[in-house]
Amino acid sequence: MTTVDHYRGSGRRWAGGATLVYGPIAVEMVDMSPHPLAGRRVLDAGTGTGVAADALIAHGARLVATDLSLDMLAWDARRRPPCAVADVRALPLADHCVDDTVAAFVLNHLVDPGAGFAELIRVTRPGGAILVTVYSTASRSAVRDRLDRSPCSAAWSR
């Protein structure tokens, strides 16, 4: 299992920029929980700088967070819930020890997303929710398709 931290040194930049996009998506994802989250023990796996954790706390959940990147966890650490550096494919948690699990734009980083998903199932209590967001590979935008094709044709991808 390779565990390269591609987000090394990115905490400040992520919190000041990408959060503007990922924050509202995290709020929407958490709002889609099939049951109220107040008082429940929830894992935010691949928490990054904590946008999903913030949304979960706003719902009254009790948080524990993990991420592969120490730099992402270190951002604003004093304000944030308890956390640990951990690969989503090998969580340092007992079976069924959390009520619900969240993984926002994390499984898309894995060559085998199923391995991460299986681990989320393992640590989540039966009947708990597993809320996941990943990037779409489909586009319904002709403009976006054109923009994507441009760097590809200039040999930027692959």
Ligand X SMILES: C[S@@+](CC[C@H](N)C(=O)[O-])C[C@H]1O[C@@H](n2cnc3c(N)ncnc32)[C@H](O)[C@@H]1O
Q: Using CB under 6 A as the criterion, which residues of the chain lie in contact with ligand X when the complex forms?
A: 7, 22, 26, 46-48, 51-52, 67-69, 72, 87-89, 104-106, 109-110
Which DSSP helix (H) or strand (E) runs through 78? none
Closest CA to 102 of 24, 14, 42, 58: 42
The residue ranges of DSSP E strands in the chain, in sequence order, are 41-45, 62-67, 83-85, 100-104, 130-133
Position of minimal CB gap to ligand X: 48
Q: Which is nearer to ligand X, 29 or 99 (CB)?
A: 29
Strand order from edge to edge, sheet including 100-104: 83-85, 62-67, 41-45, 100-104, 130-133
Helix axes 51-58, 19-31, angle to 10 degrees: 40
Q: Which is nearer to ligand X, 40 or 104 (CB)?
A: 104
Q: Which is nearer to ligand X, 58 or 149 (CB)?
A: 58
Find the shortest distance in angstroms from Cβ 96 to ligand X.
20
The CB density around residue 27, as the number of other CB atoms within 10 Å, is 17
Find the shortest distance in angstroms from Cβ 8 to ligand X.
9
Find the shortest distance in angstroms from Cβ 97 to ligand X.
17
Find the shortest distance in angstroms from Cβ 153 to ligand X.
26
Q: Which is nearer to ligand X, 57 or 68 (CB)?
A: 68
Q: Which is nearer to ligand X, 3 or 150 (CB)?
A: 3
Find the shortest distance in angstroms from Cβ 142 to ligand X.
26
